[in-house]
Amino acid sequence: MKTGRIDADLAGKKFSLETGALALQANGSVLAKLGDTVVLATAVMSKTRREGMDYFPLLVDYEERLYAAGKIKGSRFIKREGRATDEAVLSGRLIDRSIRPLFLEGMRNDVQVVATILSVDEQNDPDVLAINAVSAALGLSNIPFEGPIAGVRVGRVDGQLVLNPTYEQRKTGDLDLVVSGNGEHIFMVEAGAKQITEEDMVTAIRFAQAFLAELIKLQNNLVEQVGQKKTEVIRILADEKIITEVEKFASEKLEAALFGSFPKEQREQQYDLVKEEITLHIVEMFKDNEELNLPLHIGLSIEKLTKKLIRKNILEQERRVDLRALNATRLVSCQVGILPRTHGSALFNRGETQVLTTVTLGSSGDAQILDGMEDFDVEGTTKRYIHHYNFPGYSVGEVAPMRGPGRREVGHGALAERAVEVVLPDKEKFPYTLRLVSEVLGSNGSTSMASTCGSTLALMDAGVPITEMIGGVAMGLVLDKASGKFKVLTDIAGIEDANGDMDFKVTGSTTGITALQMDIKTRGLTVEIVDQALKQAKDGRLHILSVMKATIASPREEMSPLAPRITTLMINPEKIRDVIGSGGKVINKIIAETGVKIDIEDSGLVMVTSNDAAASKKALDWIHNLTREIKVGEVFKGKVNRIMDFGAFVELTPGHDGLCHMSELSWSRVGRVEDVVSVGDELDVKVVEIDQMGRINLSHKILLPRPEGGSVDERPRTPRHYDDNNHRGGGGFRNRH
Q: How far apart are CA 597 and CA 382, in angstroms?
A: 18
Identify whether the C-beta of residue 655 lies closer than 8 Å to the C-beta of residue 680: no
Q: How far apart are CA 372 and CA 37, in angstroms?
A: 16
H or E stretch including 566?
Answer: strand 565-570
Other CB atoms within 10 A of residue 419 CB: 32
CATH number at 644 reads: 2.40.50.140
Please tell me whether residues 60 and 115 are part of one structural domain.
yes
Please tell me whether residues 103 and 184 are part of one structural domain.
yes
Give the pTM: 0.86
- Residue where a domain terminates, one of 317, 347, 378: 317
Q: Is the pLDDT of residue 395 over 80?
A: yes
561 is a domain residue: no
Please tell me whether residues 103 and 129 are part of one structural domain.
yes
Q: What is the pLDDT of residue 403?
A: 86
575 is a domain residue: yes
pLDDT tens column, 151-202: 999 999 999 999 999 988 998 999 999 999 998 899 999 999 999 999 999 9
135-150 as b/e, with b when 16 or more CB fall inside 10 Å? Answer: bbbbbbbbbbbebbbb
Distances in whole angstroms, Cα of residue 488 to Cα of each of 266, 326, 449, 474, 501: 26, 7, 17, 11, 10
353 is a domain residue: yes
pLDDT tens column, 296-347: 899 999 999 999 999 999 999 999 999 999 999 999 999 999 999 999 999 9
pLDDT tens column, 354-364: 999 999 999 98
233 is a domain residue: no
Q: Is the pLDDT of residue 120 over 50?
A: yes
Please tell me whether residues 76 and 112 are part of one structural domain.
yes
Any idea what DSSP says for residue 426? P
SS3 call for 731? coil
589 is a domain residue: yes
Task: Answer with the residue of higher pLDDT: 496 or 82.
Answer: 496
Other CB atoms within 10 A of residue 127 CB: 24
Q: What is the pLDDT of residue 726?
A: 43
Please tell me whether residues 218 and 293 are part of one structural domain.
no
CATH number at 284 reads: 1.10.10
Please tell me whether residues 535 and 622 are part of one structural domain.
no
Q: What is the pLDDT of residue 553?
A: 95
Confidence grade of residue 715 (pLDDT, cut at 50, 70, 90): low
What residues make up the domain containing 244?
240-317
Count, residues in the chain: 737
234 is a domain residue: no
Confidence grade of residue 732 (pLDDT, cut at 50, 70, 90): very low
What total of structural domains would you count in the chain?
5
Q: What is the pLDDT of residue 153?
A: 97
Any idea what DSSP says for residue 26? S
- Residue where a domain terminates, one of 317, 350, 366: 317
Please tell me whether residues 296 and 409 are part of one structural domain.
no
- Residue where a domain terminates, one of 284, 317, 350: 317
Beta strand 37-49 pairing with 109-119: antiparallel
H or E stretch including 61?
Answer: strand 58-63
Give residues with Cβ within 8 angstroms of 71, minimum separation 6. Answer: 373
Please tell me whether residues 339 and 427 are part of one structural domain.
yes
Please tell me whether residues 574 and 649 are part of one structural domain.
no
Q: Is the pLDDT of residue 552 over 90?
A: yes
Q: What is the pLDDT of residue 174?
A: 96
Cα three-residue angle 189-128-86, rounded to 5 degrees: 80
527 is a domain residue: yes
Rounded to the nearest angstrom, the gap between the alpha carbon of residue 145 and the centroid of all alpha carbons in its chain is 32
Confidence grade of residue 380 (pLDDT, cut at 50, 70, 90): low
SS3 call for 214? helix
Please tell me whether residues 95 and 217 are part of one structural domain.
yes
Task: Answer with the residue of higher pLDDT: 256 or 693.
Answer: 256
Q: Is the pLDDT of residue 718 over 90?
A: no
Q: What is the pLDDT of residue 381?
A: 79
Please tell me whether residues 341 and 292 are part of one structural domain.
no
323 is a domain residue: no
CA neighbor of 214 nearest in space, from 156, 148, 266: 148
Please tell me whether residues 591 and 718 are part of one structural domain.
no
Q: What is the pLDDT of residue 716?
A: 53
Q: What is the pLDDT of residue 178?
A: 97
Identify whether the C-beta of residue 103 lies closer than 8 Å to the C-beta of residue 145: yes
